[in-house]
């Protein structure tokens, strides 16, 4: 296999050095994907995020077979919530008369305390469980780089390029790509392997990534990537 692979992408083909590229799988946690989880409680529609499990599994298995580095992230807090950005706690609290958020971070849900590390709902769905050799980043915020060791882990492995997947496109996927781009990583989001709670948000989020000669990076379809990795 060539050391650089190239796939069709927007705004132009994405070339990546396979030994220096990691797959980033953002927050494929039960709390964002399964019924009764934090996402659904927030008002998220689950159809698209659930449908993204299968193409994300295809992507994950292709990257594993190609010997690429794999990094999974999980959004969540320590049990005391001491690491929770205050904005996350404040803005989800019900304003007077607001019945939208009946339960908030740290409250007990059907899958344990919402978005709390160690709880069943906080962990990654069965289909996409990390292998022992893969990096798992627990992040307190939306982005993968704030208050985590991900930059050190990527640098230590010589990573310069990221293929990015996961949920939700409008939130943690986009925030992580923007954070990575500012740190010099070349990012390519994979259309079928990301999903959100609102299809208009997904479209807009992906469009913003590659607008203007790649404002934050690249966007590519899954199939061309599977073709070059196989």
Among the options 34, 84, 139, 202, which is catalytic? 139
Stretch that binds ligand TIU, among 48-56, 125-133, 166-174, 214-222 (CB under 6 A): 166-174
Name the one residue in this structure whose structure tokens are 């996402």. Answer: 39
| Burial class of residue 136, CB neighbours in 10 A (0-12, 13-18, 19+) | middle
Biggest CA pair distance of the chain: 60
Active site residue 182: no
- Asked whether position 75 contacts ligand TIU by CB under 6 A, the answer is yes
Comparing CB distances to ligand TIU, the nearer of 165 and 168 is 168
Backbone φ and ψ for 38, nearest 5 degrees, come out as: -60, -45
Among the options 84, 172, 187, 188, which is catalytic? 172
Stretch that binds ligand TIU, among 4-12, 58-66, 170-178, 211-219 (CB under 6 A): 170-178
Asked if 179 and 42 count as a contact pair (C-beta separation under 8 A), the reply is: no
- Asked whether position 22 contacts ligand TIU by CB under 6 A, the answer is no
**Options 34, 114, 171, 191; binder of ligand TIU; rule CB under 6 A:** 171
Cα–Cα nearest to 44, from 55, 36, 52? 36
| Partners of residue 5 on adjacent β-strands | 16
- For ligand TIU, the binding residues (CB under 6 A) are 27, 32, 42, 75, 142, 167-168, 170-172, 197
Active site residues: 27, 139, 172
């Amino acid at each position: 296999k060539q050391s650089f692979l190239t796939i069709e992408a927007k705004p132009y083909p994405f070339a990546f050095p396979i030994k220096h590229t990691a797959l980033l799988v953002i927050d494929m946690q039960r709390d964002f994907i399964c019924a009764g989880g934090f996402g659904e409680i927030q008002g998220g529609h689950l159809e698209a995020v659930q449908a993204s499990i299968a193409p994300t599994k295809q992507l994950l298995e292709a990257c594993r077979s190609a010997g690429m580095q794999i990094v999974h992230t999980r959004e969540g807090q320590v049990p005391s919530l001491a690491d929770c950005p205050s904005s996350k706690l404040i803005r989800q609290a019900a304003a007077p008369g607001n019945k939208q958020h009946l339960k908030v971070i740290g409250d007990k849900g059907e899958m344990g305390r919402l978005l709390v590390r160690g709880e069943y709902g906080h962990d990654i769905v069965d289909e996409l469980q990390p292998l022992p050799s893969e990096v798992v980043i627990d992040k307190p915020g939306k982005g993968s780089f704030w208050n985590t060791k991900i930059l050190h882990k990527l640098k230590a492995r010589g990573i310069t390029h990221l293929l990015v997947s996961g949920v939700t496109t409008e939130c943690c996927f986009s925030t992580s790509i923007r954070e990575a781009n500012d740190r010099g990583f070349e990012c390519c989001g994979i259309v079928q392997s990301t999903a959100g709670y609102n299809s208009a948000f997904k479209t807009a989020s992906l469009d913003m990534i590659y607008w203007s000669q790649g404002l934050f990076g690249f966007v590519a379809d899954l199939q061309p990537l599977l073709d070059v990795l196989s």
